[in-house]
Amino acid sequence: MIAYNNTSLHNERIQEQSITAFENNFISKEELQNIQLKYPVQFYTPNIFIRIGLFILTGIILSFSFSLISMPFMGTIENAWKGLMLFFALLTYAGLEFMIRSNWHYKSGVDDALLWNFAGMLFASISLILDAGALTNSVLAFLISLYCCIRFADRIMSVVAFLSLLAFLFFLFTNHLGISKAIIPFVLMAASASVYFLIKNLEKKESLKNYEHCFTIISIVSLLSFYAAGNYYVVREVNNAMFHLTSDGSLPFGWLFWILTFLIPILYIARGIQKKDAIFLRVGLLLIAAMVFTVRNYYHLIPHEVFMTIAGSVLLILSYGLISYLKQPKFGFTYAELNKENKMEKLQIESLIIAETFGQQTKPAETTKFGGGSFGGGGAGGEF
Partner 1 sequence: MNTQLFEQLHNEGLVTDSSFERIKEDSAKKLFSIHWEIKTLLYLGVLLLSGGLGILIYKNIDAIGHQAILAFIAAVCAGAFYYCVKTKLPFSTAKVEAPNVYFDYVLLLGCLTFVSFIAYLQFQYNAFGTRYGLATFFPMLVLFFSAYFFDHLGVLSLAITNLAAWIGITVTPSQLLRVNDFNGSTIIYSGLFLGVFLIALAFVSKQKKWKQHFEFTYANFGIHVLFVFCLSAMFHFENVYLLWFLLLAVLAYFFYRRSIQNKSFYFLVVTTLYTYVGISYVVIRFLESMGRSLSMGAIYLGLLYFIASGVGLVLFLISSNKKIKAL
> What part of residues 268-307 is at the interface with partner 1 (CB under 8 A)?
276, 278, 281-282, 285, 304-307
The minimum distance between CB 269 and partner 1, in angstroms, equals 10
The minimum distance between CB 319 and partner 1, in angstroms, equals 4
The minimum distance between CB 205 and partner 1, in angstroms, equals 14
The minimum distance between CB 101 and partner 1, in angstroms, equals 17
**Residue 372 phi, psi (nearest 5):** -100, -30
User: 269-279: b or e for each residue (b if 16 or more CB lie within 10 Å)?
Assistant: bebbeeeeeeb
Among residue numbers 41 through 80, which ones bind partner 1 (CB under 8 A)? 44, 46-50, 52-54, 56-58, 60-61, 64-65, 67-68, 71
Is 131 among the residues that bind partner 1 (CB under 8 A)? no
With beta carbons less than 8 A apart as the criterion, state whether 173 and 165 touch: no
Nearer to partner 1, 248 or 337 (CB): 337
- Length in residues, the chain: 384
Neighbouring residues of 275: CB distance < 8 A, sequence distance ≥ 6: none
**Residue 5 phi, psi (nearest 5):** -65, 125
Q: Which residues pair with 105 in a beta bridge?
A: 44
Per-residue x/- mask for partner 1, residues 81 to 120, rule CB under 8 A? Answer: -----------------------------x----------
The total of other beta-carbon atoms located within 10 Å of residue 208's CB is 16
C-alpha 227/C-alpha 221 separation (Å) is: 10
The total of other beta-carbon atoms located within 10 Å of residue 56's CB is 12
Instruction: Please count the residues of this chain forming the interface with partner 1, following the rule CB under 8 A.
Output: 88
Nearer to partner 1, 54 or 126 (CB): 54
The minimum distance between CB 364 and partner 1, in angstroms, equals 7
Per-residue x/- mask for partner 1, residues 4 to 43, rule CB under 8 A? Answer: ----------x--xx-xx--xxxxx--x--xx--x-----
C-alpha 186/C-alpha 287 separation (Å) is: 19
Nearer to partner 1, 60 or 263 (CB): 60
Nearer to partner 1, 299 or 384 (CB): 384
**Residue 40 phi, psi (nearest 5):** -75, 150
Sign of the dihedral defined by the CA atoms of residues 224, 225, 226, 228, in that order:
positive
Nearer to partner 1, 57 or 129 (CB): 57
Q: 323, 342, 345, 348: which one contacts partner 1 (CB under 8 A)?
A: 323
The minimum distance between CB 293 and partner 1, in angstroms, equals 13
Query: 3-state SS of 28-70?
Result: CHHHHHHHHHHCCCCCECCCHHHHHHHHHHHHHHHHHHHHHHH
The minimum distance between CB 313 and partner 1, in angstroms, equals 6
The minimum distance between CB 367 and partner 1, in angstroms, equals 4
Per CB under 8 A, the segment of 134-142, 177-185, 236-244, 331-339 that binds partner 1 is: 331-339
Q: 83, 200, 312, 342: which one contacts partner 1 (CB under 8 A)?
A: 312
**Residue 112 phi, psi (nearest 5):** -60, -50
With beta carbons less than 8 A apart as the criterion, state whether 198 and 235 touch: no
Among residue numbers 342 through 381, which ones bind partner 1 (CB under 8 A)? 350, 353-354, 357, 360-361, 363-364, 366-368, 370-371, 374-376, 379-381
> Would you tell me the crossing angle of helices 184-203 and 212-230 to the nearest 10 degrees?
160
Q: 200, 336, 341, 348: which one contacts partner 1 (CB under 8 A)?
A: 336
Nearer to partner 1, 127 or 374 (CB): 374
